[in-house]
């Protein structure tokens, strides 16, 4: 799925939203995937600013399991137009995100497979870091973890730990 995109010049005011890999993984996993909506929302806002299509970044991020294909395809097109290497297939990355949404329905500890959706985000985020640096000359947008984000990570870790311990104790009794 190729989405037409204009080459971006160095004076473009719209860098993609990027953050450090550690921060992305921590927030994605320990917010139980809610942060993924934030990541998609911020990058859909960039897409909207670049393409002036009148899309709704909120709804596209809310349904990111379905709309990630379009965003990933657009990002690949920008890489192609700017003659940068993009070795990932956007459709395959989209299928991983889409399929991982259903993995949370598994019974027992297998529900944790739903966290596989962070893998495509890390791959795309790292490519966007490269894009922002090489084409726009800009660093990572969001590298530090704030106190509020640490609080959310700790709370999410606690919830996830209780869920795993509860599941494992259920299976050890049987």
**What percent of the chain stands above pLDDT 90?**
60
Q: Does the residue 14 lie in any domain?
A: no
Domain extent at residue 154 = 21-173
Per-residue b/e over 9-45, b at no fewer than 16 CB within 10 Å?
eeebeebbbbbbbebbbbbbbbbebebbbebbbbbbb
Q: Does the residue 164 lie in any domain?
A: yes
pLDDT tens digits along 146-159: 999 999 999 999 99
Q: Does the residue 8 lie in any domain?
A: no
User: pTM value?
Assistant: 0.84
pLDDT tens digits along 60-71: 999 999 999 999
For the chain, state the CA radius of gyration: 17
Is the model's pLDDT at 31 over the cut of 80? yes
Q: Does the residue 51 lie in any domain?
A: yes
Structure confidence at residue 170 as a pLDDT band (50, 70, 90) = confident
Query: Which tokens belong to 45?
Result: 């806002």
Q: What is the pLDDT of residue 48?
A: 92
pLDDT tens digits along 76-118: 999 999 999 999 999 999 999 999 888 877 776 677 788 889 9
């Amino acid at each position: 799925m190729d989405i037409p995109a204009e080459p971006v010049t160095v004076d473009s005011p719209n860098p993609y939203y990027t953050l450090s890999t550690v921060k992305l993984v921590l927030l994605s996993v320990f917010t139980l995937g809610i942060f993924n909506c934030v990541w998609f929302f911020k990058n859909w806002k960039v897409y909207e600013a670049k393409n002036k299509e009148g899309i709704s970044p909120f709804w596209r991020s809310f349904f990111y399991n379905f709309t990630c294909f379009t965003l990933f395809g657009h990002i690949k097109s920008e890489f192609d137009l700017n003659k940068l290497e993009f070795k990932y297939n956007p459709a395959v990355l989209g299928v991983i995100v889409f399929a991982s949404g259903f993995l949370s329905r598994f019974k027992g500890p297998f529900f944790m497979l739903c966290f596989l959706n962070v893998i495509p985000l890390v791959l795309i985020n790292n490519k966007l870091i490269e894009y922002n640096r090489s084409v726009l000359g800009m660093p990572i947008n969001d590298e530090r973890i704030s106190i509020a984000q640490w609080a959310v990570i700790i709370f999410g870790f606690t919830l996830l730990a209780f869920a795993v311990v509860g599941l494992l104790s259920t299976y050890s009794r049987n």
